[in-house]
Amino acid sequence: MVMAGAVLSAWAHGGEDHDHGAPAPAPVQVGQAPRATAQTEDFEMVAVLQGTPPVLTLYVDRFASNEPVADATVELESGAFKAVAKAVAPGVYTVPGLAFSQPGRYPLTVSVQSAEGADLLDAVLQYEAPVAKAAAPAASWRGPWAWGGGVVALLVAVGLILRRRAHKTEG
């Protein structure tokens, strides 16, 4: 019993990490579509690539009030790709996204022309290759539950041995 108490008290010391295994991988955000953001004094924009076939959706609003920019002419350039975005809702514009469907880094230049003003927004659409789901780490036998189970098994074995010896001395 004294030994069991000594082992249990060993759990309650400092905050040291005695695990020398490999560090856990960085968390991966699963399910987030590739996106880019930009802002100027007048406008702000979020571009999101999603769907099959891929569509680049541009959400454009006024920087000061967050009010959607409706009825604007929105043009997009990225390398050789040039397109005029189609308005689908107030402040929401779309362009075909096939040019951005492969993993990579795509610099975007977006021209916004509305009745209240015009501006150029620069952003970078970063499309990372999908990452395979990481395997769950193997169970560690060095954890406190494993030690506790070992101590309980040891105490049961010692109790059985003492009981057997007591039974032999009686007989």
Q: Which residues pair with 71 in a beta bridge?
A: none
Phi, psi of 113 (to 5 degrees): -125, 115
| pLDDT 10s digits, 54-95 | 999 999 999 999 999 999 999 999 999 999 999 999 999 999
Check pLDDT > 50 for residue 27: no
Please give the pLDDT value at position 59.
97
Please give the pLDDT value at position 161.
82
Check pLDDT > 50 for residue 107: yes
User: E strands within the chain?
Assistant: 35-39, 43-50, 55-62, 73-78, 81-84, 86-89, 92-96, 104-114, 117-127
Q: How many Å apart are CA 88 and CA 48, to the nearest integer?
A: 14
| Residue pair 21/161 in contact by the 8 Å Cβ criterion | no
Q: Which residues pair with 49 in a beta bridge?
A: 56
Please give the pLDDT value at position 21.
57
Please give the pLDDT value at position 92.
97
**DSSP conformation class of 13:** S
Check pLDDT > 90 for residue 36: yes
Check pLDDT > 50 for residue 37: yes
Q: How many Å apart are CA 135 and CA 123, to the nearest integer?
A: 35
Model-wide pTM > 0.85: no
* Fold adopted by 35-127: Immunoglobulin-like (2.60.40)
Mean pLDDT of the chain: 81
Please give the pLDDT value at position 28.
40
Pick from 51, 52, 49: nearest CA to 35: 49
* Cβ neighbours, 10 Å, residue 48: 19
| pLDDT 10s digits, 129-169 | 766 665 555 555 566 667 677 778 888 888 878 877 777 77
Q: How many Å apart are CA 114 and CA 156, to the nearest integer?
A: 81
Phi, psi of 124 (to 5 degrees): -130, 125
Q: How many Å apart are CA 32 and CA 98, to the nearest integer?
A: 18
- Tell me the percentage of the chain whose pLDDT exceeds 70: 69
